[in-house]
Structure 1
């Protein structure tokens, strides 16, 4: 099975997961991930830094 968007890595042998991570909370131990910011989590104090990642 392929899970193209999840927020938690389950490490199931039969599942390929693409874990959505937030820029300032990046876990490099997750093997397959994308980085994104949900609109409701935008913080103007950190946005410039997050967009550079």
Structure 2
């Protein structure tokens, strides 16, 4: 995982990158898991943004 924090105007931009590699038979499920994992990541980032905005 990589987290990058950069200045952006009067605030900051946070970029989070995760690379998940499945092995063996699990790779078959990868196309099904990608949308789920993307949704989870989006929800996590929304929660982080809400917390940071609330804290100032």
Q: What band does the TM-score fall into relative to the shorter chain?
A: under 0.3
Q: Larger % of helix: which?
A: 2
With normalisation by structure 1, the TM-score equals: 0.22
With normalisation by structure 2, the TM-score equals: 0.21
Task: Report the structure number with the largest CA radius of gyration.
Answer: 2
Looking at both structures, which has the greater relative contact order when contacts are Cα pairs under 8 Å and sequence separation is at least 6? 1
